Amino acid sequence: MTTLMLARIGITIALVAGILIVGGLLRAGANAALHGGARGRAAFWASQVLHLATLAAVIVAVFAVWKDAAGQLTAVAGWIAAGLTVALQRVVTAFAGYVIILRGNVFNIGDRITIGGVRGDVVALGFMQTTVMEMGQPPDAQHDAPAMWVHGRQNTGRLVRVTNDKIFDTPIYNYTREFPFIWDELMFPIRYADDRRVVERILLDVARRHTAPIVQAAAPRVDELCRVYHLRHRPEIDPRVFYHLTDNWLALSLRFLARDHEVRGLKDAMSREILDELDRVHIGIASGTYAIVEMPTLRVREQPS
């Protein structure tokens, strides 16, 4: 190896190290200046821009040092590139996923998503991996993998890292990107003998009181969805009750709109108030329990020996 080659290697190492150090200092300064509150998203984007700028600076520096030796290194670079393409296929795909996530507005820091079977809030986004603060699932979705011990859409405390290449393999569900609301339901079974109209009125009155501010905030967002995505029908955002006939009872399903991060608390508050109102009108929740009737009197007669 010639002296010129050794000098080029030394300069390359020094330049790359200097660029990485400067990039790290700039990111630390940006995070310190924009940390917390509403500036958290600005800190995220500043970090992403500095990451990409650092990578671009490294590429430019390496090219500037080795451009005069490009002819000598063409064959070697070709073999290296071919080897890296095979060995680092998943890494390249993950980085491509990162670029698409940023440019395609797939999701952003703070969004609530499902990616690669993981549900939760995006707390970090890197070149290779997305970090998600996992959330639980409602009881009717507990059979979905992975198993959950939190029976609601609230954080479990686990941080899960998912490679960015999952966007090419699995659907990405975004709860918050264009429309930070979701529809949910509460089901109340009642006996056929009970006054269903009274129960329906109670359900709607309670739902309207709790969701009025949500419906008001969601109305312009629904109009924007219809404009951008050309929905055939405007989604109904006011509470509504649906009937379902079963062999044992009449099931009343209360459909309502909720904010994406407040569903469990909203359902709890509505359920408590609805139960109080049903108690007031002496209507109970139907169930599949059975009363055991009294046993008849048994007479035992002793036979003479």
Residue recorded with tokens 């490009």: 70
**Residue ranges, the chain, pLDDT below 70:** 1-2, 4-6, 34-41, 43-45, 48, 66-88, 140-145, 147, 288-305
> Using one digit for the tens of pLDDT, what is the confidence trace for 35-83?
655 556 676 667 767 777 777 777 777 777 766 665 555 555 665 566 6
Distance CA 65, CA 7 (A): 10
Q: Give the model's pLDDT for residue 243.
A: 96
pLDDT (0 to 100) of residue 11: 75
pLDDT score at 44? 66
Question: What DSSP state is assigned to residue 295?
Answer: P
Count the helices and strands in the chain (H runs, E runs). 6, 8
Q: How many whole angstroms separate alpha carbon 265 and alpha carbon 145?
A: 24
From the list 44, 181, 179, 182, the residue with the least C-alpha distance to 110 is: 44
In whole angstroms, what is the distance from residue 26 CA to residue 47 CA? 9
Beta bridge partners of 118: 115
Beta-ladder partners of 163: 129
Q: Could you give the dihedral angle defined by the CA atoms of residues 202, 284, 259 and 257, in that order, rounded to the nearest 10 degrees?
A: -50
Phi and psi torsions of 274, nearest 5°: -65, -45
* 173 within 8 A of 112, measured Cβ to Cβ: no
Give, as one character, the DSSP assignment of residue 276.
H
* Alpha carbon distance 189, 250 (integer Å): 5
pLDDT of residue 215: 96
User: Taking Cα atoms as reference points, which of 54, 50, 167 lies closest to residue 104?
Assistant: 167
* Per-residue pLDDT, 289: 60
d(CA 94, CA 100): 10
Q: CA-to-CA distance for 66 and 9, rounded, in angstroms?
A: 9
> What is the rounded CA–CA span in Å between residue 180 and residue 221?
9
- Given a contact cutoff of 8 angstroms between Cβ atoms, the answer to whether 218 and 257 are in contact is yes
Lateral strand order in the sheet of 181-190? 181-190, 250-259, 240-245
Nearest alpha-carbon partner for 285 in 207, 195, 185, 191: 191
- CA separation, residue 265 to residues 121, 133, 272 (Å): 18, 19, 11
User: C-alpha distances in angstroms, 17 versus 20, 46, 126?
Assistant: 5, 21, 20
